[in-house]
Amino acid sequence: MMGNLKPLEIVLIIAVVLLLFGAKKLPDMARSLGKSARILKSEAKAMKKDDEPATTADAAAADQAAQQPAAARTIQASPGDVTSSRPVSEAKPTTQS
């Protein structure tokens, strides 16, 4: 369908988008769309990594991490963007005595 658009139609669509949203908001919208795409991509990689079987090196790293106190982690939307970082809350395992 996109291959059937003529240059005049593309210019008309761009003009309508500029009139609706304004030239000042378009870069912000594109920036937020890029941040969302990066977050989605990193979450998809994390889900794939969770599905892979654990190796012995991963088990050793997990043992070391369990022995050390956990530091607060943050997720940043983009490098250098500290305004949108948020703390990550992880489920803590409960031990029964």
pLDDT at 33: 92
- pLDDT per position as a tens digit, 11-32: 999 899 889 988 888 889 889 9
Q: Which residues of 51-71 are buried (b: 16+ CB within 10 A; e: fewer)?
A: eeeeeeeeeeeeeeeeeeeee
Q: What is residue 60's predicted lDDT score, i.e. its pLDDT?
A: 61
Residue with tokens 């607060």: 72
* pLDDT of the residue at 11: 92
β-strand partners of 74: 87
pLDDT band at 95 (very low <50, low <70, confident <90, very high): low
Out of 11-20, 48-57, 60-69, which region has the weakest mean confidence (pLDDT)?
60-69
**50 pLDDT above the threshold of 60:** yes
**Distance between CA atoms of residues 30 and 36, nearest Å:** 10
State pTM to two decimals.
0.39
**H helices present in 1-97, as ranges:** 7-21, 25-51, 56-67
- Mean pLDDT on 48-54: 75
